[in-house]
Chains A and B, each alone.
Chain A
Amino acid sequence: AQSVAQPEDQVNVAEGNPLTVKCTYSVSGNPYLFWYVQYPNRGLQFLLKYITGDNLVKGSYGFEAEFNKSQTSFHLKKPSALVSDSALYFCAVLLGGGADGLTFGKGTHLIIQP
């Protein structure tokens, strides 16, 4: 069975500093990995995904993530945080070729302090 872990319930970062939101996964096979962001009372917005190819994936709003197969991680990063980045972030995994839905982590609250 596939699973996703987001070890931090909350991450606090000062505006302008770099941010990292951690994600590790467990699948048997080649994973497809995703990051979504959820603002209060809103749906999920797609940020980026890793399917194959370059391990460093660039996405929306200046976010990027690095696929690390040996550490089974897919941490979300941004060089300089904005207050508007404050939201709930979800990591998700899909087993390559799988027909069913995404498996999501529990989410990490990112709080950017002015």
Chain B
Amino acid sequence: NAGVMQNPRHLVRRRGQEARLRCSPMKGHSHVYWYRQLPEEGLKFMVYLQKENIIDESGMPKERFSAEFPKEGPSILRIQQVVRGDSAAYFCASSPLGPREAFFGQGTRLTVV
């Protein structure tokens, strides 16, 4: 059983471009969480999704950020019109039951130039 797979591992975007980050949960996991880690800081919760539903997006910025977890395929975190402040490591976690049993991916490191 492969772990949580995130791709790409590293992503460079110019200001104003779009960034799409993918997360394939572990087999049998229907809960997905996205976190952002800014330099020298801990992880901040962004959004919690189950298949085709957003359960909690209280940590998502109101503009430019969106997330989805379709019935088929990976979960996608989309950042439109990226700015330098979006540079961070974005981690995805998946779980069969909820956040108590979450397994983390290796993260996508986004650099905005």
- A interface vs B, CB < 8 Å? 4, 32, 36, 41-46, 49, 51, 90, 92, 94, 98-107
A88 to B7 alpha-carbon distance, docked (Å): 23
Sorted nearest first, the 4 A-B pairs with minimum C-beta distance are A101-B45, A104-B42, A43-B106, A44-B104
Contacts of A4 in B (CB 8 A): 42
Q: Is the CB of A99 within 8 A of B56?
A: yes
Q: Is the CB of B58 within 8 A of A100?
A: yes
A101 to B33 alpha-carbon distance, docked (Å): 7
A103 to B42 alpha-carbon distance, docked (Å): 9
Contacts of B99 in A (CB 8 A): 94, 98, 100-102
Contacts of B12 in A (CB 8 A): none
- B interface vs A, CB < 8 Å? 4, 6, 33, 35, 40-46, 48, 55-56, 58-59, 91, 93, 98-100, 102-107, 109
Contacts of B93 in A (CB 8 A): 44, 101
A104 to B93 alpha-carbon distance, docked (Å): 14
B91 to A, closest residue via Cβ:
A43
A45 to B, closest residue via Cβ:
B104
B45 to A, closest residue via Cβ:
A101
A98 to B104 alpha-carbon distance, docked (Å): 19
Contacts of B45 in A (CB 8 A): 100-103
Contacts of B109 in A (CB 8 A): 41
B46 to A, closest residue via Cβ:
A101
